[in-house]
Structure 1
Amino acid sequence: MKPNTEHQIFSSYNKKDGFFDEVFNSNGDAKSIYKKLFDLYGDHSVAEYVQLNNKAKASFFNQGITFQVYGEKEAKEKIFPFDLFPRIIDADEWNTIEAGSIQRSRALNLFLWDVYHDKKIIKDKIVPLELLSSSSNYLHQMIGVDPPNGIYNHVSGIDIIKHADGNYYVLEDNIRCPSGVSYVICNRTALKRALFGVFNHYQAHTVTNYAENLMEILESVKPQGVDIPTCVVITPGMYNSAYYEHSYLAKAMGVELVEGRDLFVENDFVYMKTINGPKKVDVIYRRIDDLFIDPLEFNPDSTLGLPGLFSAYRKGNVCLANAPGTGVADDKAIYTYMPEIIKYYLDEEPILSNVKTYHCSRQNELKYVLENVDKLVVKPVDEAGGYGISIGNKLTKNEIEEVKKRILKDPRKYVAQPILSLSVHPTYIEDKNSFEQRHIDLRTFTLLGKDKEFVLKGGLTRVALQEGNLIVNSSQGGGSKDTWVLKK
């Protein structure tokens, strides 16, 4: 179905049945929340829009907004793809998303405290012990360690989709080092520069207050006895895929961006090397994976981290955000127990539902998955960035058999979910100079600190730029949109 419009730039848009279209209703009319935006964009000719799109790309290029894509032979640095036509979420829908994100973050923090201390949820047989003990992200070094102020997941990224039924579902939780928030802020900046007049027609919440809220969160979890904490962002270095974000956040917070070699540990305290001599560091927002943060405690070959850092952390002399060992909470096998985890710790029903998920370590579910690989999305429990995912209806018979072999080799490593109809949104496709229907999701960013919670009112709307593709990750060719959360 074609939308009901005379606007030239939307004339080639084909609204396909079976998907929840965020912009157009079943009759092909723009929904009321999008009507003004639809007309404002439609006032531009195709040539004018091409010019605006190039202006936005130039803005990203000039700011150095890039990411790394790792292929089989080499890594390539690319400008982050950005679509100028924004996604709009009304206040009531956002209230549900925000409440659900906070609820999950609270429950996961309590879960992390429990599994590294009393393990009550294991003893009460809510989550099986073998699931915990077999998780590659469960750090035995964290058992009995009390993170400052009891916070593990200072920053949580929760991936949410809108299904064909019009309801929101959580696809997965990201608790280790969730990335992408810098793109949220830069998307807004680029859009306002290119289409400032359009943006002014809507009352949308700001997204540029993220850094100040992150800074408040980090300062709130300072070690005991510290009045004014010194905070830093630690990065693996400029060749990391998210290095732009590391540098952006450090600059926005007004703190130093450091590598492991810029720090040292003495008497179980962390110091930063400066031209004025050593300066004690109290809070480290880390963007280095667990196993590389301290070669004395984890991977002895790591040159990215800091020898002695974990000892200083264990003694409470420095705070690490996020805490080591949080990866066990975004293990996709643990995800299958999230409704029970929320009920156990908060005595609440989940505000946002899980997607139906099969874990292959359960015999009856393994049998179902093996018999229905062609109808399922199969995911490794410990991968990120869209890597290792198999979408059944895109596979050949030989590829299906290969997936079955991988699952049978290590059932604990895989979960499977139905092939969902992610909602769709008009997206400008450069090589066709036209708007087409593309699948989207949403990553929310939730901050937890001492007596403070914050959810960025916007989040990262990711777009699968290839037609029919359901994988939205930038590493798999995806892009993003600005997300407008409207004020009441």
Structure 2
Amino acid sequence: MSSNIKKPIFSSYINNPDLFDEVFDTLGSTKNVYQKLFDLYGNHSIMDYVQLNNKAKSSFFNQGITFQTYGEHDTKEKIFPFDLFPRIIDPDEWNTIERGAIQRSKALNLFLWDIYHDKKIIKDGIVPLDLISSSANYLHQMIGVDPPGGIYNHISGTDIIKHSDGEYYVLEDNIRCPSGVSYVICNRTALKRALFGVFNHYKTHTVTNYAENLLDILESVKPKGVDIPNCVVITPGMYNSAFYEHSYLAKAMGVELVEGRDLFVENDFVYMKTIRGPIKVDVIYRRVDDQFLDPLEFRADSSLGVPGLFAAYIKGNVCLANAPGTGVADDKAVYTYMPQIIKYYLDEEPILNNVHTYHCSRPDELKYVLEHIHELVVKPVDEAGGYGISIGNRLTKEEIKVVQEQIKEHPRKYIAQPIMSLSVHPTYIDDSESFEQRHVDLRTFTLLGNNKEFVLKGGLSRVALKKGNLIVNSSQGGGSKDTWVLKK
């Protein structure tokens, strides 16, 4: 055992002043919001921390909190990496984050309604037609369809970073099937078990009310003529990377978790097979991608969906959350227009800034990107999970040439952004048996319903566990922290 393990927790912590550390200032002093935590635990040894951290990890193991990573040759199931040292956000900062997340969700919902109906934003020259028509996630089947309550993006995940200037920026919007909220709740549960006394010293907003608010939102968008809606969660099955989350949310809401084979459509109504006979289903929280929802309408080879489901949906007999076709609005190329979209529909300035983004379909911006790849992050517009991202200053000359050729072959598929300096947070690293600076981001979860809205006061703080890594996704080796939003 290393002698490191007996030292106080932060005795070997190296504070790089070039990075924005959320816990320590540039002189190494603890920031006010973390002072109580340091008074309680600052003198503990690394050994003490390891024992507490292992207790938290065993909580994850016993609950089966896992995710799957997909490699070139195999698939692996892993316990979700969790760091016990929490991230704390003060009330004023959170107020900005929450208002910004709601603003974006509302603007995106209005944008989706418009591009599937009147297309005013296109006619007025704010967003180009070819940007929408060339998106793989734009569904012509949704043109003219009125979703229950007028809501498309019932659940939105907004990925936010804090830059070295201390300001928050949105990296991307996720409104197809944003995942990760179950880890937020389980992080809090694990931390309470390991550090049960700490919450007596902090007034922290709960995160365990998410499921009840999600159910409330889903019930608010029930089809017309339905008094007490029957809601279900549909999953691709136990081999999906987020299956734990699907089952967790269904259980927490007290609704059935179903697969496509558990449902059928008759006379354009959806029913669930049960041992007591068919039961009508009114609202489906779907975790199945658009193209697999209905083999009669989309991919004929899909065994994950329900034949006739889309016909029942467009007739208003069932609500799908999120609505099919929402993926066009979380296209990273559409992201470049978010300031204009917010201004156009809400007549407001963005509360949260975009990261400056170059879209490679624009000839002048394509030229700039090809010449400056070494100082940019290049992202495919339609990938998730951190896949396909190239960070220019980490690439060899040969790798840069490969990325340049990929961009030139499919310019519409790529955007590029400056390499942002994500804030860092002390994180325990097993290999060094010490705390080290690691980059973090924050995924917030916003719910929109029929005259209802809710933002989970916490969100998922994701940590890039590899030193210097800027990609925080769990599929890329990242972990997470409990996120405390303090009450005023």
TM range (shorter): over 0.9
1:8 CA displacement: 1.2
Q: Name segments (4+ residues, structure 1) moved above 2 Å.
A: none
Distance 2:181 2:224 in 1: 29
Aligned residue runs from structure 1 range 314-333, under 5 A:
314-333=314-333
AA of the residue aligned to 1:374: H
> 1:120-145 CA distances to partner (integer Å, 9 max, x unpaired)?
00000000000000000000000010
SS where residue 158 of structure 2 aligns? strand
Distance 1:88 1:354 in 2: 23
AA of the residue aligned to 2:174: N
Q: Does 1:419 align with 2:386?
A: no
Provide the residue aligned with 2:203 in structure 1. 203
Distance 1:142 1:431 in 2: 51
Aligned residue runs from structure 1 range 60-99, under 5 A:
60-99=60-99
Q: Is the 8 A contact 2:156 2:175 kept in 1?
A: yes
Provide the residue aligned with 2:194 in structure 1. 194
Provide the residue aligned with 1:105 in structure 2. 105
Distance 2:34 2:450 in 1: 39
RMSD, matched Cα: 0.8
Provide the residue aligned with 1:289 in structure 2. 289
Distance 1:12 1:249 in 2: 40
Q: Does 1:342 align with 2:338?
A: no
Distance 2:408 2:41 in 1: 51
AA of the residue aligned to 1:92: D
SS where residue 92 of structure 1 aligns? helix
Q: Is the 8 A contact 2:68 2:242 kept in 1?
A: yes
Provide the residue aligned with 2:404 in structure 1. 404
Provide the residue aligned with 2:25 in structure 1. 25
Provide the residue aligned with 1:275 in structure 2. 275
Q: Is the 8 A contact 2:391 2:419 kept in 1?
A: yes
SS where residue 265 of structure 2 aligns? strand
1:200 CA displacement: 2.1
Aligned length: 483
Q: Is the 8 A contact 1:7 1:42 kept in 2?
A: no
Q: Does 1:479 align with 2:487?
A: no
SS where residue 334 of structure 1 aligns? helix
Distance 1:241 1:149 in 2: 30
AA of the residue aligned to 1:104: R
SS where residue 462 of structure 1 aligns? strand
AA of the residue aligned to 1:261: R
1:294 CA displacement: 0.2
Q: Does 1:449 align with 2:449?
A: yes
Distance 1:267 1:367 in 2: 54
> 1:405-446 CA distances to partner (integer Å, 9 max, x unpaired)?
000000000000000100000001112211000000000000
Distance 1:264 1:232 in 2: 13
Q: Is the 8 A contact 1:360 1:415 kept in 2?
A: yes
Distance 2:72 2:327 in 1: 26
Provide the residue aligned with 1:395 in structure 2. 395
Q: Is the 8 A contact 1:263 1:273 kept in 2?
A: yes
1:7 CA displacement: 7.1
SS where residue 53 of structure 1 aligns? helix
Aligned residue runs from structure 1 range 461-472, under 5 A:
461-472=461-472
Percent sequence identity over matched residues? 82
Provide the residue aligned with 1:219 in structure 2. 219
Q: Does 1:177 align with 2:177?
A: yes
Q: Is the 8 A contact 2:441 2:462 kept in 1?
A: yes
Q: Is the 8 A contact 1:250 1:257 kept in 2?
A: yes
Q: Does 1:303 align with 2:303?
A: yes
AA of the residue aligned to 2:312: A
Q: Does 1:260 align with 2:271?
A: no
1:16 CA displacement: 0.8
SS where residue 9 of structure 2 aligns? helix
Q: Is the 8 A contact 1:380 1:389 kept in 2?
A: yes
Provide the residue aligned with 1:312 in structure 2. 312
AA of the residue aligned to 1:173: D
Distance 2:53 2:419 in 1: 32
SS where residue 196 of structure 1 aligns? coil
Distance 1:200 1:370 in 2: 54
Distance 2:232 2:43 in 1: 46
SS where residue 252 of structure 1 aligns? helix
> 1:345-391 CA distances to partner (integer Å, 9 max, x unpaired)?
00000000100000000011000000000000000000000000000
TM-score (norm 2): 0.98
Distance 2:111 2:131 in 1: 14
Q: Does 1:367 align with 2:367?
A: yes
Distance 2:349 2:9 in 1: 44
Q: Is the 8 A contact 2:7 2:46 kept in 1?
A: no
AA of the residue aligned to 2:96: T
Q: Does 1:244 align with 2:244?
A: yes
Distance 1:41 1:96 in 2: 30
Deviates more, 1:42-51 or 1:441-450: 42-51
Distance 2:474 2:251 in 1: 23
1:11 CA displacement: 1.0
AA of the residue aligned to 2:71: G
Distance 1:173 1:294 in 2: 25
Q: Is the 8 A contact 1:263 1:271 kept in 2?
A: yes
Q: Is the 8 A contact 2:426 2:435 kept in 1?
A: yes
Distance 1:122 1:267 in 2: 37
